[in-house]
Amino acid sequence: MTDSPLRNLAIIMDGNGRWAAQRGLNRTKGHEKGAEVIREVTTYCAKHPTIETVTFYAFSTENWKRPKLEVDFLMRLLDRYLQNELETYQKNNVRFLAIGDINAFSKKLQERIRTTEEATKSNKDLTHVLALNYGGRAEIVSAVNRLLAKGKTEITETDISTALQTPYSDIDLLIRTSGEERVSNFLLWQISYAEFYFSHTLWPDFTTEELDEIVTDYEQRTRRFGGLK
Ligand code: FPP
């Protein structure tokens, strides 16, 4: 039984395109269904007694390489998602936070992100983090540059941890769906001692029942953090 309760969960949502292709649908349908799953998982996390943050990889710095139509769709979906979600965030006492470089997004979307962050900033049951135009290496580089700009000449691990965009410095559990077993430049600093779980389920088919099983699996693990206990 773990003596490290699950506080910070991270999820790489993969398999939207394959889910749609299996049904003869456009890839965008997979993203639409995937957004609904984000909503269900976030509600589960808000009700969970120990989970404090859940971070989803929604758009990586590499995702700009996708066809423009798909990228445009993802941007519109995100805008719609946040617009619809505000009520649920307030009802479930969830704070919303974006990490990544959102300056590349349209002014309207940047505004939506900022106003949702502002409106939910006092909510305490869960912080729902969306990684948007995010890359783990870029996040570390920005943190170091921020420290240099402040005049630091020698940098400690604690300095970097506190200069990162995430409100935590360690992820406890990282889940990736769809059978792929890669980290894809996600939260590189924060996953140093994370437990990993690779699910074969395509993200649009992922359920809170499966998440519950994964959380139980995590609770059975012994985390040693490099020690011998
Ligand atoms: C991977 O599926 C998923 C993404 C590119 C990002 C996840 C995006 C969403 C769940 C929807 C939009 C998000 C919000 C917050 C509204 P893939 O397209 O790489 O799947 P494939 O590997 O099967 O092609």
Mean pLDDT by 10 residues, the chain (229 residues): 88 98 98 98 97 97 96 98 97 98 97 98 98 97 98 97 97 98 98 97 98 97 78
The reported pLDDT for the residue numbered 3 is 74
The reported pLDDT for the residue numbered 227 is 80
Residue 32 Cβ contacting ligand 1 at under 6 Å: no
pTM of the complete model: 0.96
The reported pLDDT for the residue numbered 229 is 63
CB atoms within 10 A of CB 215: 20
Give 13 Cα–ligand 1 centroid separation in angstroms. Answer: 6
CA dihedral defined by 106, 33, 196, 222, rounded to 10 degrees?
Answer: 120
Give 17 Cα–ligand 1 centroid separation in angstroms. Answer: 7
> Which positions are annotated as active-site residues?
14, 63
Burial class, 160, CB count within 10 angstroms (exposed 0-12 / middle 13-18 / buried 19+): middle
Evaluated on CA atoms 173, 118, 125, 160, the torsion sign reads positive
**Residue that the structure tokens 């170091």 belong to:** 144
SS3 96: strand
Say if CB 13 and CB 58 are below 8 A apart. yes
**Residue that the structure tokens 């099983």 belong to:** 213
The reported pLDDT for the residue numbered 228 is 72
H/E stretch holding 108 = helix 107-120
Q: Report strand pairing: 94-99 vs 195-198.
A: unpaired
Contacts of residue 54, defined as CB under 8 A and 6 or more positions apart, other chains included, come to 9, 10, 11, 41, 42, 45, 126, 127, 128, 129
Contacts of residue 150, defined as CB under 8 A and 6 or more positions apart, other chains included, come to none
Mutate to test the pocket of ligand 1, among 11, 12, 13, 22 (most ligand atoms within 8 A of CB): 13
Write the residue with the smallest CA distance to atom 15 of ligand 1.
78
Burial class, 219, CB count within 10 angstroms (exposed 0-12 / middle 13-18 / buried 19+): middle
The reported pLDDT for the residue numbered 1 is 60
- Spacing of C-alpha 61 from chain mean position: 14
Residue 81 Cβ contacting ligand 1 at under 6 Å: yes
